[in-house]
A = this chain, B = another copy of it.
Amino acid sequence: MTDANGCGKMQHEHDFKNPSRMGSLTGRLKVEPARATAEMVAEAAQVSRAAVSRAFNPQAPLKPEKRARILRIAEELSYTPDRAARALVTRRTHLVGIIVPDVCSPWESQEIDALTTALQAEGFATLLFKTRTDFSMDETLLTYMRGFNPDSVIAFTENVRPHILARFLGRAVPIYINYPMAGVADGRRPGEPETLFDRIDVDQWEGMEQAVALLAGYGCRRIAYLSGKRDSLAEQARRTTLQALMARRAMGDPAVIPGDFSYDAGYAGTVDLFRLGEGVDAIVAVNDESAFGALDALRYELKLRVPEDVKVIGFDDIAQSHWKSYNLTTVKVDLDTRVRALVRLILRRLKDPQAPALSETVRTRLVVRGTVG
């Protein structure tokens, strides 16, 4: 519904230059019964053509009674605006693609929920695409996604290589969460120019520094890091940040519990750490869900007390973290701030397709609950 800016500059694909297809389309039109146009609705409702457009755009200002009257007449005449047709004219589909491996992981589902609400308020709809975390679906998925012509795409760098995404999507500018750091493969071919990506960065440092300071203040010396999947950039960023913060305090290197962001891996890894070695004073987890697994392993399998025997800190602050069974101390990424930043990036980019790469940074802070103290 924000069709006003920059549309003419955006590329758009179509088959209408092909006369044979055009002919077949025209052929179909002839046999159809006549259908109402926006002009017919405008005339019947005694309003302008523009008012009819606005009536079908929940964001456009229009008096409630006027909108209700237009919609009632549109319904009587069986008129419906068609985005497929309009997309050919406006070059906008009003679709924002989101590429995720797990809709049902708590953090992702909370982010998708907040993002869908925010995008809907701006006239966009959220188009979900599932991928694998190992890049194996890159080409198939992107070929598939391209057919839907999203106006923008949100992806996590660890799931789709940015240059491959840009090559396939062309028109839509991907917005990245966790842009690749130095040394991470981005799928760029030799000689291929740098491509435009807008990005959201999460500043892990501030919240994690508060976490390490709190643990140090309680006298913890032996700290373990419960990791995510090895290739993940969130994993790498959190691990290196924790290592740097512990080195600054001369606390040595953290023991690493191999995980994959899941409850089950957090549980199993924590059991192994204590059964096979000497254990630790504290566990800092890559995310909340795996911290829950560590907590349950400590309490139910290893019969240790949290926080008395072992302290646990998570990352994200998902809704479940305040549940009494967990009551988790965690590094919070403010979801609303992050979603607002994402929507801002999308709107800025659509307004100015030629702008240099945009970025926003989201801060973190420690939320202290019952698992440290």
**A325–B298 Cα gap in the complex (Å)?**
11
Of chain B, the residue at the smallest CB distance from A79 is B13
Report if A140 contacts B (CB, 8 A).
yes
Contact between B85 and A103 (Cβ–Cβ < 8 Å)? no
B56 and A324 contacting across the interface, CB-CB below 8 Å: no
Within 8 A of B (CB), among A85-128: 85-89, 93-95, 102-104, 106, 109-110, 112-113, 116-117, 120, 123, 125-128
Interface size bracket, A side: 35 or more
- Interface centre among A13, A267, A296, by most chain B C-beta atoms within 10 angstroms, is A13
Q: Which of B25, B112, B125, B323 contacts A148 (CB 8 A)?
A: B125
Residues of B contacting A88 in the complex (Cβ-Cβ under 8 angstroms): 25, 84-85, 88
Enumerate chain B residues within 8 angstroms of A102, measured Cβ to Cβ. Answer: 113
Main SS of chain A's interface residues? helix
Q: Known: A130-B116, A323-B263. Contact between A148 and B35, CB under 8 A? A: no
Contact A323 B112, beta carbon cutoff 8 Å: no
Decide yes or no: A14 and B82 within 8 Å by CB, A25-B89, A112-B104, A292-B325 being known contacts. Answer: yes
Add 14 more A-B contacts to A80-B147, A82-B149 (CB < 8 A): A13-B35, A14-B85, A16-B25, A16-B29, A56-B147, A71-B143, A75-B168, A81-B146, A103-B116, A104-B109, A116-B129, A125-B128, A263-B323, A292-B323
* Chain A residues in the interface with B (C-beta under 8 A): 12-18, 21, 24-25, 28-29, 34-35, 37-39, 55-58, 71, 75, 78-89, 93-95, 102-104, 106, 109-110, 112-113, 116-117, 120, 123, 125-130, 139-141, 143-149, 167-168, 170, 263, 267, 292-293, 295-297, 299-301, 319-320, 323-326
